């Protein structure tokens, strides 16, 4: 079997390479997105890597076996033990109409399980938006409240205005919360959150903006000493941006680092990313963040996390004075209802939204209008 790896910027380009090299009978064994190029881990470009294989000696078909020499066929027959053929069983011909009925019953059961047996109280167009919000994982109570608000101004003869009404209803729910980067005098910014959400990369993106665009004097402190890779990653960013880095292995180290960077414009602190269900982890964070109050804390969350886990996670961190949320991995999902759920439930706004791994490009300040656009969609 011939096995070969192919890499190209897009899947269609990879497939063209495979067809030219291995032919149309090639089989894909594995595919994944890889980052290539760049400089010291920065500005890498996405590529698609595919492992493909071709068997140069495929198994012979039945037609080919019929053409085999008689002696070979007889030899095969001699080696095979006789097998008694089972008596033929009557086979009922499938009824296409029956299959269609069964399919409709399954779909109906799935719909009832999702929406309940209560009939719709909304006009058809509004009901479609209500179901769309549920698909966006907006909480059922919230979706109903939004549709009830829309109903007061809905004119059935103007369906084109429905999207705007839904957007305005979402906007009203979020309008009093702080969104985007909030101007303040706090020089120490802490980033907390569970492991794997992209805190370190987010910190690097914010630092790059402050250094390159805002011309601020920036420093790093990392307390994520549980993962060597996190320290190495932040150290690489610090060298590229010419930003000093201090590693705090203890509370005393952290306090010393704060004193060292007291004359800097902005100090970004990367906390340990660990299991948020571990009470000891939360207690350690509370101890560190209770030392001084001249700081802001951002809770970093991934949009790919289940809604139930997100609620549990935010609840665990509510004893810490969270200023705003930061959502990552927008590029890995098309479901954004969790943003509305968390903001309205806990009274927290959102500072940034990240949508990729590229530093410093894949980050933007999040506004209420942007959230409305993401959640309301193009239904």
Q: What is the pLDDT of residue 310?
A: 92
Q: What is the pLDDT of residue 196?
A: 83
Residue environment code for 226-240, b if the CB has 16+ CB neighbours within 10 A, otherwise e: eeeebbebbeebbeb
Identify the band that residue 77 occupies on the pLDDT scale cut at 50, 70 and 90. very low
pTM score: 0.66
Identify the band that residue 327 occupies on the pLDDT scale cut at 50, 70 and 90. very high
More reliable by pLDDT, 79 or 30: 30
Average pLDDT score, the chain: 79
Fold assignment, 188-373: Rossmann fold (3.40.50)
pLDDT at 158 over 90: no
pLDDT at 117 over 50: no
DSSP result, 238-249: HHHHT--EEE-S
More reliable by pLDDT, 305 or 182: 305
| Residue 198 C-alpha from the chain's centroid | 11
**How many whole angstroms separate alpha carbon 53 and alpha carbon 26?**
5
Q: What is the pLDDT of residue 59?
A: 53
Mean pLDDT is lowest, of 109-118, 235-244, 315-324, 345-354, for 109-118
More reliable by pLDDT, 199 or 82: 199
DSSP result, 29-90: EEEEEEEE--BTTBS-EEEEEEEEEE-SSPPPPHHHHHTS-HHHHHHHHHHSPP-PPPPP--
More reliable by pLDDT, 137 or 361: 137
Enter the tokens of residue 342.
Answer: 């968390």
Per-residue model confidence as pLDDT tens digits over 97-108? 667 767 767 766
Q: What is the pLDDT of residue 142?
A: 94
pLDDT at 280 over 80: no
Enter the tokens of residue 161.
Answer: 């205005």
Total residue length of the chain: 379
Q: What is the pLDDT of residue 211?
A: 92
pLDDT at 325 over 70: yes
Per-residue model confidence as pLDDT tens digits over 55-64? 665 555 555 5
Q: What is the pLDDT of residue 120?
A: 57
Q: What is the pLDDT of residue 266?
A: 93
Which range of 25-29, 38-42, 104-108 scores highest in mean pLDDT? It is: 25-29
Strand order across the beta sheet in which 324-328 lies: 245-247, 218-222, 266-270, 188-192, 295-302, 324-328, 349-354, 363-365
Q: How many CB atoms lie within 10 A of CB 164?
A: 14
Per-residue model confidence as pLDDT tens digits over 240-272? 999 999 998 888 898 899 999 989 999 999 987
Question: Percent of the chain, pLDDT > 70?
Answer: 71
pLDDT at 133 over 80: yes
Identify the band that residue 8 occupies on the pLDDT scale cut at 50, 70 and 90. confident
Identify the band that residue 76 occupies on the pLDDT scale cut at 50, 70 and 90. very low
pLDDT at 90 over 60: no
Q: What is the pLDDT of residue 339?
A: 95
Enter the tokens of residue 207.
Answer: 């630092």
**How many whole angstroms separate alpha carbon 116 and alpha carbon 137?**
16
**Which residues is 363 bridged to in the sheet?**
354
Per-residue model confidence as pLDDT tens digits over 173-222? 999 999 988 766 778 999 988 888 888 899 999 999 999 988 999 999 99
Are residues 32 and 12 in contact, defined by beta-carbon separation less than 8 angstroms?
no
Q: Which residue has the tokens 């903001």?
A: 343
């Amino acid at each position: 079997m011939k096995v070969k790896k192919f890499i190209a910027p897009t899947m269609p380009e990879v497939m063209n390479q495979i067809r030219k090299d291995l032919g149309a009978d090639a089989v894909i064994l594995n595919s994944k997105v890889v980052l290539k190029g760049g400089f010291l881990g920065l500005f890498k470009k996405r590529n698609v890597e595919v492992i493909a294989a071709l068997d140069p000696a495929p198994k012979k078909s039945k037609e080919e076996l019929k053409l085999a020499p008689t002696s070979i066929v007889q030899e095969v027959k001699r080696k095979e033990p006789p097998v008694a053929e089972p008596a033929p069983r009557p086979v009922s011909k499938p009824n296409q109409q029956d299959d269609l009925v069964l399919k409709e019953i399954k779909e109906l059961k799935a719909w009832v399980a999702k929406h309940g047996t209560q009939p719709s109280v909304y006009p058809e167009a509004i009901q479609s938006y209500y179901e769309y919000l549920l698909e966006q994982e907006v909480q059922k109570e919230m979706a109903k409240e939004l549709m009830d608000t829309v109903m007061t101004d809905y004119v059935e003869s103007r369906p084109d205005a429905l999207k705007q009404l839904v957007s305005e209803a979402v906007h009203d729910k979020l309008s009093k919360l702080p969104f985007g980067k909030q101007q303040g005098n706090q020089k120490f910014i802490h980033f907390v959150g569970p492991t794997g959400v992209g805190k370190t990369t987010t910190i690097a993106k914010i630092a790059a903006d402050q250094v390159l665009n805002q011309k601020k004097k920036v420093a790093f402190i990392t307390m994520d000493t549980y993962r060597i890779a996190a320290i190495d990653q932040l150290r690489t960013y610090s060298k590229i941006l010419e930003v000093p880095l201090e590693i705090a292995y203890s509370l005393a180290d952290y306090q010393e680092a704060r004193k060292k960077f007291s004359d800097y414009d902005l100090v970004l602190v990367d906390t340990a990313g660990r299991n948020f269900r571990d009470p000891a982890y939360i207690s350690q964070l509370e101890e560190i963040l209770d030392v001084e109050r001249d700081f802001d804390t951002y809770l970093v969350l991934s949009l790919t996390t289940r809604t139930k886990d997100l609620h549990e996670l935010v609840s665990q961190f509510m004893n810490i004075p969270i200023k705003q949320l930061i959502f990552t991995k927008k590029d890995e999902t098309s479901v954004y209802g969790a943003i509305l759920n968390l903001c309205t439930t806990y009274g927290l706004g959102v500072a940034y939204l990240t949508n990729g791994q590229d530093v410093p490009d894949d980050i933007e300040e999040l506004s209420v209008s942007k959230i409305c656009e993401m959640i309301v969609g193009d239904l």
